[in-house]
Amino acid sequence: MEQRGRDRLIRALLKFSRRARFGTDIRRAAERFWGPGLAAETLDDALAGMSPEWAATMFLDWLLCDFRLADGQTIVDHFVEQQRATLDAFERSYLQQLSRSCISLYEIEDVRPEQGFTMRDLFRGGTVPVRERLATRSLVRWDIVATRLIDSGGEKIINASVIPFRVQDREPLLRRLRYRYTRYRKDHPGASPEAFLKDSAEFFNHYVQEVLALPPPQLITAEGDPVHVCRAYYQIEDRPAVLAALRQVPELEEMDPGSYAWLETGDPRGPRSLGKVEVGERELELWCMSKERLVRGKALLERHAGSHLIHRVDAIQDPWVAAALAGPQEEPSAIPPDVEAAAYQAYLDDHYRRWIDQPVPFLSGLTPRQAVATPGGRKRVAALLRGIENREARHRLERGFGYDAAWMWRELGLDPLV
């Protein structure tokens, strides 16, 4: 009943907001939310073609509840003034909540499938249980979202939609919000966090637009070189001789007949993969992830099997272009799900038990175990662990299984909720 009542009110509010008297204000709102590049004469113009998919819903939520018209009131305020005599107790309560509430920044601490979340307000502090069924099918632990929460039957619910952010946006978002709040209080002494958020909620959309416009981040290898998808192709003159030569190379480990893993040996923590070599009937392919490794790999091949190979061509691709060209992998795995899940868990368990004692560039070359010795290092390691858990939670949501990384918090003496 409450949901139908809210839906009915929102439809009435939208119809009310389309009145000609609000035209100038809506043009001003669209420019404030999206920037001066959006020319909107009407509300429908402002909504047309908005993307991503949450954009129109969040714009409407902000426009109706937060945006101050030329007279200092919101559209909800005007609606209540004109419709007060026709509103029942539930409708008055709901509209009052819309008028007083604000959009804030939240982190998903816990997901209860088909029931809801525990969300932490990152800007104002505190946690709150939220009743929400559908969003539990798409949001996972440590997701960062901006949204408006309201009361419903003694519980908190999401009013409209959410603006999703990347896990790595957590600290940049908080820094910017705190900086803007400090400046806001200079012009509005004593202003509460709620007043600031209500007057500044378009910030969240601006941040998303800025991130979408950024070039993709530069990826680097463990050696610190830029990542490129690199291949070298050779014509094979004598296949048996090539295979015999490669089997004698200490850095090459034969995985399958004609398929070799190229490993960095000599590290006490174990070998590290540098690339792979595939020997076909007439062609050999060297694959690796940087131009520098390509030079090393070619020298390795030519030193041991060069007399039986003729170099034909090198192919080097930007990793983002290569990923886009590869497209989605549509063929289902032939491996039974339980076997695939066990193998996945075992592989990542081995990887992460090595990782906590390996230098990490994000930690200024320290290992995670070393970095947790300082407050700043603990904060950075926690950010890495949240990213790992978030990625695995999404893998679990999409594939049915994921790696359980909870042990790393305990191993490194960190509390995920601090």
- For the chain, the domains span 2-100, 103-213, 229-326, 337-411
Tokens of 405: 């990384």
Beta bridge partners of residue 261, listed in sequence order: 253, 276
Query: Residue 95 is which amino acid?
Result: L
The CATH number that domain 103-213 falls under is 2.40.50.140
Helices 2-17 and 55-65: crossing angle in degrees, nearest 10, is: 80
pLDDT for position 40: 54
pTM: 0.72
Peptide bond into 52 cis (omega under 30): yes
pLDDT for position 323: 64
pLDDT for position 268: 63
Residue carrying structure tokens 């998808």:
229
Q: Which residues contact 62 (CB under 8 A, 6 or more apart)?
A: 33, 103, 201, 202, 205
Q: Which residues of 270-307 are buried (b: 16+ CB within 10 A; e: fewer)?
A: eeeebbbbebeeeebebbbbbebbbebbbebbeebbbe
pLDDT for position 287: 95
In whole angstroms, give the CA distance from residue 208 to residue 59. 13
Distances (CA, A) of 161 to 97, 148, 171: 16, 8, 22
Q: Indicate left, alpha or beta for 302 from its phi (over 0: left) and psi (-120 to 50: alpha).
A: alpha
In whole angstroms, give the CA distance from residue 19 to residue 32. 20
| Architecture of the domain spanning 229-326 | 2-Layer Sandwich (3.30)
Is there a common fold for 103-213 and 229-326?
A: no
Q: For the chain, list residues with pLDDT below 70.
A: 1, 35-54, 212-217, 267-270, 320-334
Q: Which residues contact 88 (CB under 8 A, 6 or more apart)?
A: none
Residue 68's SS3 state is coil
pLDDT for position 50: 55
pLDDT in tens, 79-89: 999 988 898 88
pLDDT for position 316: 87
Residue 36 and residue 45 in contact, taking contact as beta carbons nearer than 8 Å: no
